[in-house]
Amino acid sequence: MDVQRKLAILADAAKYDASCASSGSEKKDSRDGKGIGSTDAGMGICHSYAPDGRCISLLKILLTNACNYDCLYCVNRASSNVPRARFTVDEVVTLTLDFYRRNYIEGLFLSSGIIKSADYTMEQVVAVARKLREEHHFKGYIHLKTIPEADEALITAAGQYADRLSINIEVPEEASMARLAPEKDVRAIRRTMGRLRLKLDEAREGRKVTPRGNVGPRFAPAGQSTQMIIGADAATDRTIISTSANLYGSYKLKRVYYSAFSPIPDASRALPLRAPPLIREHRLYQADWLMRFYGFASDEIVSAEDGMLSLDMDPKLAWALRNRERFPLDVNRASREDLLRVPGFGAKAVDRIIATRRISSIRVGDLARLHIIRNKALPFIVLPDHRPATHLLDGAHLAARFKPKAMQLGFGF
């Protein structure tokens, strides 16, 4: 099989993995004439290279889509009837360098199905990163998917070459994991995440800042991330969010990625027939941001009895509507923590408010300049020239005002 065909298969097989992003990578510089690539221009982007030729920022591929395991939700599972392919280590190295030189990519996201054994597969993945770094002085971004059952020495080696490591937690509940991915060991996943956290902490403490930059042990400077599949089991949003909160707290993950389950060919009957609505994935990302940047605790975000986020409105607005007694807030006096809870106020807008109000009072006419979503915010705030009518904040109409308008379905004639 030629490399182009392998690329078509193995880039397509990798597209289900959402857990890649280059945010948080350390700045690298190849201006000394040694090495190629720099992650500096690629901060915060996460893309992959599709076989249709679209230029994207990370070459996102599997080393192989053959796999010994039979995770029911995975298109690459052992019992799946898909064409299989396998790159050699040298083929991945050559592709990465070639695409980089052509300016198609800024780095590599490499994952793999498990062949022979966890150790053998991890050795192959590490060999790609080692060759790129040591033989070709590649200084672009590298994200390696880690196999939790692999030997600790291999995971340590992976961290020496990679910017980011990730281990997929897959589904939020242990019972679902046993049912959907029986060969996977939740304890091994958690144990490896814990080890990564320790190594990341050690590396951070051991690195000294000198006038020539950071020196000392290097271990995945962009940290670790994970992915959770949404909608393959009956886990509620409340369970998903509290699992994420636990992962952030226990393992200091940089990111939890949420990937809406997509039905696969010849799927098991244990799986739902339909994908969850994409808006659910979006709401979970919004909830995740509330925990990471807006000071919300995981148990404040979902209140519905069914444990699900509203699909009609964002979780911050839904929280504000449930907690109307905390509003309206005086924008010129409220604390940063309280301002972060106002619908329509982003974290940067709150910083702008605090800087502006030191100099002058904020009025309605200033909201647009401060990048505040005026219609969303006005019912919840007080300004020198604005106070929402009590009946508006207390009335049942306020929630209806923010919901999408109902539309009659067309009949196609």
Pick 74 or 321: Cβ nearer ligand SF4? 74
Q: Indicate the residue among 71 and 320 with the shorter CB distance to ligand SF4.
A: 71
Site string for ligand SF4, 173-202 (x = CB under 6 A): --------x---------------------
232 contacts 271 by C-beta, under 8 angstroms: yes
Indicate the DSSP class of residue 86: B
Work out how close the CB of 369 gets to ligand SF4 at its nearest, in angstroms, rounded to a whole number: 48
Residues 347-386 that bind ligand SF4 (CB under 6 A): none
Q: How far is the CB of 261 from ligand SF4 (least distance, A)?
A: 12
**Segment 36 to 95, residues that bind ligand SF4, using CB under 6 A:** 67, 69, 71, 74, 76-77
Residue 145 beta carbon to ligand SF4: minimum distance, rounded to whole angstroms: 9
Number of DSSP helices (H) and strands (E) in the chain, helices first: 15, 10
Phi-psi region of 137 (alpha: psi -120 to 50; beta: other; left: phi over 0): left
Number of residues in contact with ligand SF4 under rule CB under 6 A: 9
Is 290 a binder of ligand SF4 (CB under 6 A)? Answer: no
For ligand SF4, which is the closer residue by CB, 80 or 310?
A: 80
- Within 10 angstroms of residue 304's Cβ, the number of other Cβ atoms is 13
Q: Which is nearer to ligand SF4, 65 or 310 (CB)?
A: 65
Residue type present at position 294: Y
Q: In the complex with ligand SF4, which residue's Cβ is closer, 73 or 138?
A: 73
- Report yes or no: 283 and 311 within 8 Å, Cβ to Cβ: yes
Phi first, then psi: what are they for 147, rounded to 5°? -95, 115
Torsion from C-alpha of 310, 315, 316, 317, nearest 10 degrees: -20
> Alpha carbon of 222 to those of 123, 162, 181: distances in Å?
21, 9, 28
Q: Report if residue 259 touches ligand SF4, rule: CB under 6 A.
A: no
Least Å from the CB of residue 111 to ligand SF4: 8
Indicate whether 114 belongs to the interface with ligand SF4 (CB under 6 A): yes
Ranges assigned E (strand) in 239-389: 255-260, 329-330, 381-382
Q: How far is the CB of 71 from ligand SF4 (least distance, A)?
A: 3
Secondary structure (DSSP) of 168-184? --BSS-HHHHHHH-TT-
Interface with ligand SF4 (CB under 6 A): 67, 69, 71, 74, 76-77, 113-114, 181
